[in-house]
Amino acid sequence: MGSFSGKDKENSFKDSLIGKDIPVLTLDNKWYKLLDEVGKKNVKSLENELNELLKRQGKVNSETKEIKKLKKRLMEEIVTLVDEASNGDDEAEKKIADNKRLVEDCNKKLDEYGDEIVDLPREINEVNRKLMLITMEHCYETMQENTDDIEELDEWLTSIRIELKKNLIRKQEKEAKNHQIYSYMHDIFGPEVVEIFDLRYNPEEHHPMTKAELEKKEAEKAAEKEEAKEDTNGKQ
């Protein structure tokens, strides 16, 4: 996974996004979870710019609706006052004139907002795409760093497993050797002699079966002595 570095790559990526519907990132809570502290710092200016544009769009749309409502009400009042004004009602004529002036103000304001209503979506989309590019670049860089670390950790774990296996075999071999030596010592010197010595290493602590096996051997020897004794007595 490589990062989107270089002007040519950036332009190529932008071209591939033409016609693609990109959701407004700052309106999606999951977008914020994509970024760590470094990522959030890198996108802060664009994030603020996008939020300001969205806020402006919301205000323009809301005020446009209110102005249209006001204009409609003013026009309806003018219609209802026309008959009164034609009959010489000065108040009605004055009210009609005021309403017409207000309607003109509404039209000017709607014209101003009309340009923004057209431009704001384009500006929002442009900033949002810039924000997406930076977000994607940061995410892929983070994923690449993580992948490098994962591969390094995999190598370490593999070497540790091999070393652990080797040491386990060595441990088992040495335990078996100690068991064998201890058993031969009992066979050759007898348990009474062996117990006289202060052995710094006791295989019984590392080989649970050693003691049982030794007791079995001692029992077998005692039985052999008893049989030999009985044979001697029988011959006499």
pLDDT band at 4 (very low <50, low <70, confident <90, very high): very low
Q: State how far the alpha carbon of 143 is from the alpha carbons of 95, 138, 140, in Å.
A: 68, 9, 5
pLDDT tens track for 34-66: 888 878 888 899 999 999 999 999 999 999 999
pLDDT at position 2 is 47
- Judge whether residue 208 has pLDDT over 50: no
pLDDT at position 121 is 93
Alpha-carbon dihedral 131, 134, 140, 141, rounded to 10 degrees: -150
- Judge whether residue 209 has pLDDT over 60: no
Q: Where are the domains positioned within the chain?
A: 7-164, 171-235
pTM of the model: 0.61
Range list of H helices, 190-201: 191-196
pLDDT at position 143 is 92
- Judge whether residue 112 has pLDDT over 80: yes
pLDDT at position 211 is 54
Q: How far apart are CA 227 and CA 236, in angstroms?
A: 14
Q: How far apart are CA 24 and CA 64, in angstroms?
A: 22
- Judge whether residue 7 has pLDDT over 80: no
Q: State how far the alpha carbon of 44 is from the alpha carbons of 24, 97, 109, 123, 134, in Å.
A: 15, 50, 32, 17, 11
pLDDT tens track for 116-166: 999 999 999 999 999 998 888 888 999 999 999 999 999 999 999 999 999
